């Protein structure tokens, strides 16, 4: 059973207290920071689970609202000296999770365990690093896998929308984190990173999210029968502009528990998974522009879908829906600070961006022998504002409209949010 949120908070507090006591004369070596988001949304479309299979039946359904705290994160880092550093990142998603044991007097006094709320508490980073030079650093532990623009910069002040950019967030793990080894460094205008991590699990791939859940694990450990290989290269040659390429490759099949399919008729089914991504960011004095383009491919998608469906019949903890041979996501957003146009504004740190975002994504591109599900093919626009009264806080508002193929109902919504991101110590 997962620990309650209160227990987790107490553990974090004790950890911070212990870290501060170990070397009080070196308080500057301790780094504490984090980020968090609050989001309030009204969706002007049906939330019925059959709205795509029978769209006409739910065309006139009432709107529905959702209030959420998508992410609340605590960073803790420490510099041990001589090139040795440590960092952790503990994340509460949707305010964490909770369960309770209760005695049900209306059911013959039985003891029952009930889920009080949904959510997750995750250790998204825990690594120890040795720095030999700016060009060569080695990390070992639980790492962020920086494939795609969102995984590289997933904090809420790195995108304008109230929620994370929808395309990459739908088809890729986010935030993608896994245990392994990383080599990274900087040289001039270039930064590189190469990672070896536990491979993805093809049984967790599905129609609506492609490989998003493949980096997760329903067990207390991450199965690593197969390894995954990721890399990223950033270039900063042009002032205020970054161009980046990133990618992942690994075998998704035979990377699950128990490992008992190696001697079956599916022994030759590999589920090779390849992802390629390009992203960029221009951060000027008054204008910010960001964009991404991602494509993913899974071999043997049809066979994997069949195997998954059969495994799921005995309550195995895997996704039931098929996975397509490919998925795609592309997005572009731009925001312009209006406050600099007004000479009477005294606080020069304050910003007010008007922004627009467009994205296209499809989480299920079928193989020739697979059925099609056209609703996964989507366009989305969002327009809104980001008011930053101080550099570490943004108040966000947006109108979003998701365009589906003509046989389905479009999905408009209005959202309001507030987010922070920063360090409390240096």
d(CA 306, CA 327): 19
pLDDT at residue number 122: 87
Residues of the chain with pLDDT under 70: 1-28, 99-112, 114, 116-117, 262-263, 312-314, 426
DSSP string, 140-169: EEEEE---SHHHHS-SGGGSSSSSSPHHHH
d(CA 403, CA 358): 11
What domain range is 345 assigned to? 5-423
d(CA 222, CA 201): 10
Closest by CA position to 154, among listed 294, 319, 318, 163: 163
What are the phi and psi torsion angles at 151 (to 5°)? -65, -30
pLDDT at residue number 23: 42
pLDDT at residue number 111: 64
pLDDT in tens, 308-357: 888 755 677 888 899 999 999 999 999 999 998 887 777 778 999 999 99
Domain of 94, CATH number, reads 2.40.160.10
Closest by CA position to 287, among listed 338, 335, 350: 335
State how many domains the chain has.
1
pLDDT at residue number 112: 67
d(CA 407, CA 412): 16
d(CA 269, CA 125): 32
Q: Is 111 helix (H, G, I), strand (E, B) or coil?
A: strand
């Amino acid at each position: 059973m997962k620990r309650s949120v209160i227990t987790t908070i107490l553990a974090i507090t004790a950890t911070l207290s212990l870290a501060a006591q170990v070397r009080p004369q070196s308080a500057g070596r301790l780094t504490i920071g984090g980020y968090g988001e609050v989001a309030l949304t009204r969706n002007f479309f049906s939330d019925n689970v059959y709205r795509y299979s029978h769209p006409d039946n739910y065309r006139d359904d009432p709107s529905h609202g959702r209030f959420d705290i998508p992410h609340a994160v605590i960073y803790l880092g420490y510099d041990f000296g001589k090139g040795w550093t440590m960092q952790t990142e503990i994340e509460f998603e949707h305010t964490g999770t909770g369960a309770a044991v209760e005695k049900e007097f209306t059911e013959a006094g039985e003891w029952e365990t009930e889920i009080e709320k949904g959510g997750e508490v995750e250790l998204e980073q825990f690594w120890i690093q040795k720095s030999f030079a700016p060009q060569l650093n080695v990390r070992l532990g639980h790492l962020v896998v920086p494939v795609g623009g969102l995984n590289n910069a997933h904090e809420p002040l790195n995108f304008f929308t109230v929620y994370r950019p929808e395309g990459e967030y739908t088809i890729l793990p986010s935030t993608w984190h896994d245990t392994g080894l990383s080599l990274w460094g900087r040289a001039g205008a270039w930064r590189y990173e190469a990672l070896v991590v536990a491979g993805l699990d093809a049984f967790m791939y599905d129609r609506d999210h492609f490989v998003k859940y493949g980096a997760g694990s329903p067990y207390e450990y991450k199965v690593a029968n197969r390894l995954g290989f990721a890399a990223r290269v950033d270039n900063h040659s042009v002032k205020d502009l970054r161009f980046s390429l990133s990618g992942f490759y690994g075998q998704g099949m035979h990377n699950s528990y128990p490992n008992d399919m190696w001697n079956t008729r599916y022994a030759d089914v590999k589920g090779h998974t390849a992802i390629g991504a390009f992203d960029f960011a221009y951060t000027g004095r008054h204008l910010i522009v960001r964009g991404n383009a991602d494509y993913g491919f899974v071999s043997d998608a049809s066979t994997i879908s069949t195997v998954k469906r059969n495994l799921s019949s005995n309550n195995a903890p895997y996704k039931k829906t098929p996975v397509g041979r490919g998925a795609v996501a592309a997005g572009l957003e731009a925001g312009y600070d209006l406050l600099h146009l007004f000479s009477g504004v005294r606080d020069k740190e304050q910003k007010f961006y008007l922004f627009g975002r467009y994205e296209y994504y499809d989480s299920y591109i079928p193989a020739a022998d697979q059925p099609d599900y056209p609703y996964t093919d989507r366009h989305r626009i969002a327009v809104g504002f980001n008011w930053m009264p101080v550099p570490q806080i943004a108040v966000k508002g947006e109108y979003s409209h998701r365009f589906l193929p003509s046989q389905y109902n479009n999905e408009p919504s209005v959202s309001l949010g507030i987010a922070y991101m920063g360090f409390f110590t240096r």
